Structure 1
Amino acid sequence: MTQINEQELQNLRHLIGAHETENQKMLTYAQQCTDPQVKAYFQKSAQDALNTKQQLMSFLK
């Protein structure tokens, strides 16, 4: 595996944190929704953010 430099590591940390924040916000919004379609949209958005976070974290291995 190719080594990443300090700047790339900082960028990854920033992106991972942003996707974690997005995941948490979308989960909160989904919990507050009463409309099933809107709730499903937020749940999917939360899952997408989590998937992206996990994919980004794989670069740290």
Structure 2
Amino acid sequence: MAQINQQELENLRHLIGAHETGAQKLESYAQQCTDPEFQQMFQQSANSARQTKQKLMQFLS
């Protein structure tokens, strides 16, 4: 894999952090929901954010 420069590294760190924060918020929303349909939607979105975070982290190795 090609080397990344300092700016790209900082951008990756920012994106990874944003996806983790988003996932945590979405999981919190899911836990607070009483409607099962919304609960499932929030949980699926949280899972998607975590998957994207994992894909972004692959650029760091």
Report the TM-score, using the length of structure 1 for normalisation.
0.99
Correspondence for 2:21: 21
Aligned pairs, how many?
61
Correspondence for 1:44: 44
CA distance in 1 between partners of 2:42 and 2:8 (Å): 30
CA distance in 1 between partners of 2:22 and 2:45 (Å): 8
Query: What is the aligned-residue RMSD (CA, Å)?
Result: 0.3
1:7-45 deviations in whole A, cap 9, x for unaligned? Answer: 000000000000000000000000000100000000000
Correspondence for 2:4: 4
Correspondence for 1:31: 31
Matching residue's letter, 1:60: L
CA distance in 2 between partners of 1:48 and 1:22 (Å): 10
Shift of residue 47, structure 1, vs aligned partner:
0.2
Report the TM-score, using the length of structure 2 for normalisation.
0.99
Q: List alignment gaps of at least 5 residues for structure 1.
A: none
